[in-house]
Amino acid sequence: MNLEELEKQVTLQEDIQEIENLQKIYGYYFDNSMYAEVIDLFSENTESVEITDHGVFRSKEAVVKMYSGMVVMPRPGWMFFEVMQSQGVIDVAPDGKTATGRWYTPSFECRPFGGTKKQTWQFGVYSNEYIKENGHWYFKKLHWNLTYWTSYERGFLKVPRLSDTPFPNADAPATAYHPYPSGYHVPYPFKHPVTGK
Partner 1 sequence: LTLHEGELRQLWAHGIYENEYVKEDGKWKFKKLHFFLNFRTPYEDGWLKTPVVGHNGPSLEVPPDAPPTTWRPYPFGYHFPVHFKHPITGK
Contacts with partner 1, residue ranges (CB under 8 A): 18, 21-22, 25, 28, 32, 37, 40-41, 75-80, 82, 108, 110, 117-119, 136-138, 152-153
CB of 191 to partner 1, least distance (A): 27
For 22-39, give the DSSP string. HHHHHHHHHHTT-HHHHH
Q: Please say which residue, 145 or 150, places its beta carbon nearer to partner 1.
A: 150
Shortest approach of partner 1 to residue 94 CB, angstroms? Answer: 24
Residue 149: phi and psi, rounded to 5, are: -145, 105
Q: How far is the CB of 75 from partner 1 (least distance, A)?
A: 7
Question: CA-CA distances (angstroms) from residue 104 to 79, 139, 190?
Answer: 23, 17, 15
Angle at alpha carbon of residue 81, lines to 190 and 45, rounded to 5°? 45
Compute the Cα dihedral for 151, 152, 153, 156 and give only its sign: positive
We find the least distance from the C-beta atom of residue 41 to partner 1, in angstroms, to be 6
Give 157 or 176: the residue with its C-beta nearer to partner 1. Answer: 157
